[in-house]
Structure 1
Amino acid sequence: MKANFKMALDSIFANKMRSFLTMLGIIIGITAVIAILAVGNGATSQITGTFNDLGASTISLSVSDKAIKADYITKADLQTMKDSIQKLDYISPDARLAGTITSDFSDKSVIAYGGTTDLQFTNQTMKNNLVYGRYFNQNEYDDAKNVAVISEDGATVLFNGRKDVVGEKINISYRGTALSLKIIGVTASSQESTVGFFDAENMPVFIATPLTTLETLNPELGNLDSVTVKVSSKDDIDSVSKQMVRLLETRHEKVGDDLYSATNFLQSLDQIDSVLGLFINFIAAVAAIALVVGGIGVMNIMLVSVTERTREIGTRKALGATTNTILFQFLMESVILSLIGGIIGLVLGILLANGVASALDIVPSITPGAVILVLLFSSAVGIFFGIYPARKAAKLDPIEALRYE
């Protein structure tokens, strides 16, 4: 085996340019497959990871389009669910409106969120950690106080770069109605979670205020058709979801009407992940066609090599080399060619993946399993496309081979 390995290497390095051109198809194929898988899987992990953090223990409770006004979720329903369902940590409406916000220094578009005191933890756009001030309390919610919490980046835009704007006044305008609010808290910047949805220059300001206060601008917001719920753990999602739906059906006397549904974002996330994986694998499979082309190139060059070395084969057979020895010699040469091409392609693929990932600001995902699979696949290409030339060499008649010119 050692002798065959050395002979195979000698043959490859004796024709360096020809060997490199033979490997080129495999190199290109492996490079493309590795780069696509690494960047694709890295992007998928980043996307699903981000949304997983946002919605791992979040439930969206909604009312069907078939519902009438009496079927909508009420504020009393919210309190009853929170008091009676264990492992339900936070619950708040998804009420919002888009209008204009003005300060003494600037005016911008605004998205105002209205909810209960739990809005601090259920709002999927604004961060829940406060950098200045506080969140509105139950008394301010019950009394519909004109108070608001603003995001840090919104404060910077409205107040000439200042972030600590607790105590400042802002005005919200919606369909000709204005509302003056006092800022009592500032949350961490919300732009990180909304970049991609808005152009930076046109980014709206985000504020949170008691739903009872926001209803003065739009009374229809009190007809709650959806609420967001946070549970203690994602393992509690199913049980809490069933309890909420059952409670609403009982309170509104709509048992069996399928008017209420509770969904978790992770359910949709699994489908997204599956579709992304299928798409990435399809693109990688298309790129892998280059490997087939490379394999054909290996077979072609091995057939040429057999023809060129016919007299050598005859001499070796005349000196006692068995058919299996000749077969193994040429098969090993084919495998080594493919394996070297695979290793080069692997290195180039990793470099390309890191370059593309760096440009896209993501972390490429290259697993040891993928590396092993690439090397095994390269060897398999060498074996598959090297069998025919090797068998042809092994079956040469030694007498005829010695007469070959």
Structure 2
Amino acid sequence: MSTQESYRSKRTTAEAAIRLIRNGDSIIVPTGVGEPPTLLTALSEHRRDFQDVKVLQILAVRKYGYFDPETASNVRHSALFFGPASRAAGQAGWADFLPNYFSEIPGMIRQGLIAADVVFSIASPMDEHGYFSLSLGTDYTMAALGKARAIVLEVNPNVPFTNGNCHIHISQVTALVESDEALTEVGMPVIGPVQQAIGSYVADLIDDGSTLQIGYGGIPDAVVLQLSAKKNLGIHSEMIGDGILSLVESGAVDCSKKTYMKGKIVGTFVLGSRKLYKFIDRNPMVEMHPSDFTNDPYLAGQNNKLAAINASLQVDLLGQCGSESLASMPYSGTGGQSDFVRAANRSEGGKAFIVVPATAKGDTISRIAPVLCPGTHVSTSKNDVNYVVTEFGVAQLRGKSASQRAREMISIAHPDFRAELTTAAKKMGLL
């Protein structure tokens, strides 16, 4: 049977495709815009037909009908990282949360620690050799392909075809549906004076020839916007966004000085605009790989001058980062923060930046705290954190004593809280 004949034989409707799901199954869905909207809409519409089905995903971008507490026993979201679509469900307790490092999810799937009975993914059109590209969310999905009983693709002509370890052959596919819906677009966030000040401090510390990892959020994007005058930057990052495209267009990114995968922009998922999706389509400069490759600290750390830029919600006086919860209430997830902090620490000339506004709630709460709030999920340990940056300056922590760290952290807190933090540090024996 030719690849085209195989394609035609496996083409079906979304309503028929979801009948491949069995009660108790775990469905693996890629990150962000890698999610297949037609399939997930059909699953939502028929969710009451199933029992104990779980949808596992990092960073859901659309709030589908199955995000419903009344039918959580039918189809339930299991978050590997909470985003705007899934956060309320996690905080209310009717969506599950699986703690993880992004780099280790593929291995957990292969080991059977995370079940992968079915894969639902959006995909590019099939090429002349019978291959589809899972370009928008390569992440852990490639590992799930080797474990799943059923693989269902939503084939969309708007999905780019990229190079890298992100391809699946028609012979591996159980069923496919077709759609031509426009891809979800996520624009650059609004950058205010606080984000701009933090971005300026970080940009000043990034050298020409550095390789960048840009985390998810407004402050990392603010850093990117201030790097257009740099030269010979490279990209080895979990997320490829419009900020990275802007650096390519400005000439700041050419990947010519990378010491690992020279000349290549390397990522594991894409989140941005239609322009970005067109940019990566069959672009020989871009390669998409699973997260156990992109986020592996050993591999990523082979890039000299790796600059990792990630955001946090709260940091204590020793440098512990609570980046994913508000006290015990879940907010996001560890994601790749710890992966890339460790990668930058391994890198020759590498620099890991944790960026955080000094205050919250109209300057009434200090995000620099004596200790993390009780119940806070520690995302990155004190042993790993190097630079912490607020709008008031830079604290460099690695190699510093506990007392030195406390002084550094107090120096970048909002001035209104420095006396209070100093008093607390003395009571703790840090000063």
TM-score by length of 1: 0.19
Quick check: which has more Rg, 1 or 2?
1
The structure that is helix-richer by fraction is: 1
The TM-score normalised by the length of structure 2 is 0.18
